[in-house]
Structure 1
């Protein structure tokens, strides 16, 4: 920057030089702060299905009014939690193919509701499957029976999903089931709740667990904190109680629900609660597929739209 020199003895030149130096210093500080913030924040762009090497990847698939999450570990191990409703099974299969998934080392059906396990039968039929976890609860629905038939045809057995179970998945990643802690009459409260920790980052998967299960998890004094919370029951006001949200204390919240669904999910009550807590919210119904990657320290988030 050019400095202007005033009359002899004038301090104009010195003042202009000082201002120029101060401006450069200010711009440098701003650039430094922005760089630091960008190193740990998220951004939105279309998800890239290319495998992430050396990190943990979590993909919240867009299955409408339902739930499904794909996890890929640093060593390439895979896990699928739920698979949406019956009419979304091809969507799930296509997404798994797009991400290059031919084998699922672990499959978790959080509970028997069709919008969570509806697509699991076809997934089990068409992919190589390692181990299957489901809570110890039965259902007389055709959807549930179809999943059991697919498991049986593959010669697989169902391991019980319950609090205290630690999944043998990837030595770099801790996967622990936090619920159900007991037997509940309501299928939603029987949901398998899982906490995944990789390095300094953590993620909580809640299925449709409602306030009763949340209260028991708090009372159990298990580690509930997570950087990313999958909001319980698609954002229904029956879940994500203030006490539970306080214990989890997430930076980000993911809501899996369908566009203009008849249940009104996510509810204004939950959206307001998340906003008041200063939590950044991502939604399948408005942003499509939500793709997270973690290097153990920072979390990067991309969305389909």
Structure 2
């Protein structure tokens, strides 16, 4: 009848209005990421790593003192205007030294660091830079995730698993695991044997495609037991001229034993890994 027809028409109109409202109030499907790029920036003896997804730019460490301008230049060359996250793995100067400059000269949304401090000028400058931007630290610890906007990307801290001695800065390293669909990256900072043992005991280490070798290839890191679990297809040594003998022949031999293809920033320069979620492709970039 006529009244029934009017009622049905009204219901249809209301349904369409509701659908329209839902569509424009930000309820959107979370999509998969078409790519992830991981840049190991050649900063000499130190670490600086840029992780790029279609939605985020994340910087892990900033090289040593005086390396900030080089890192910022590299970021801008890659059209990075905002860093959604900056991760300071630990307070050593060859990791944190350039971060003060980066934070002062880039838009930064969030800063992650483990709950350990240091008295060096490099670390003090880093703290002051964060304070000058009226920001606070988010404590990097096992299980914490850095939010991403893609359904097939997870960025999770595996370590530090526990508290270490205040003098044991390397084992305090924020260890970060990146998963992009079927592919994975593991960034070890300067984590050494004690941290590796704790990660293995918690069953947090599994097969990865790309490993950022811990502590620049120190003999106290990247143990045979650790590599048995990680079995990286590719390994990157972020290293420069140093008096420590990094990377050591011990670590080089252990990586050879697990048939990992090794890249060194002192020999290859900047190393870029591109992932489409099913395949990882390495190349050297200027």
TM-score bracket, shorter-length normalisation:
0.7 to 0.9
Counterparts in 2 of 1:109-258, with a 5 A limit?
A: 109-171=88-150, 172-185=152-165, 186-258=168-240
- 1:90 aligns to 2:72 (yes or no): no
Q: Which residue of 1 aligns with 2:270?
A: 289
Provide the secondary structure at the position in 1 that maps to 2:283. strand
The one-character-per-residue Cα deviations of 1:254-288 (angstroms, maximum 9, x if unpaired) are 00000x32111111111111112111001101000
Aligned with 2:50 (options 70, 83, 97) = 70
Q: TM-score with structure 1 length normalisation?
A: 0.80
1:195–1:224: 8 Å Cα contact kept in structure 2? no
Contact 1:105 1:169 in 2 (8 A): no
Gaps of 5+ in 2: 1-32
Alpha-carbon distance in structure 2 between the residues aligned to 1:119 and 1:213 = 25
Aligned-residue offset at 1:304: 3.4
Give the superposition deviation at 1:87: 2.1
* Contact 2:145 2:157 (8 Å CA) reproduced: yes
**How many residue pairs end up in the alignment?**
251
Q: Aligned to 1:86, what secondary structure does the other structure show?
A: coil
* Residue in structure 2 matching 1:107, options 79, 86, 107: 86
Residues 92-128 of structure 1 show CA distances to partners (whole Å, capped at 9, x for unaligned) of: 1111111111100000000000000101001000111
Equivalent pair of 2:199/2:205 in contact (CA under 8 Å) = no
Q: Structure 1: 5+ residue runs without aligned partners? A: 1-52
Q: Distance in 1 between matches of 2:222 and 2:158?
A: 15
Hey, what's the Cα distance between the residues in 1 that align with 2:183 and 2:51?
Answer: 14
Counterpart CA distance in 2 for 1:303 and 1:257 is 15
The TM-score, its normalising length taken from structure 2, stands at 0.86
| CA distance in structure 2 between the partners assigned to 1:235 and 1:222 by the alignment | 21
Structure 2 counterpart SS, 1:79:
strand
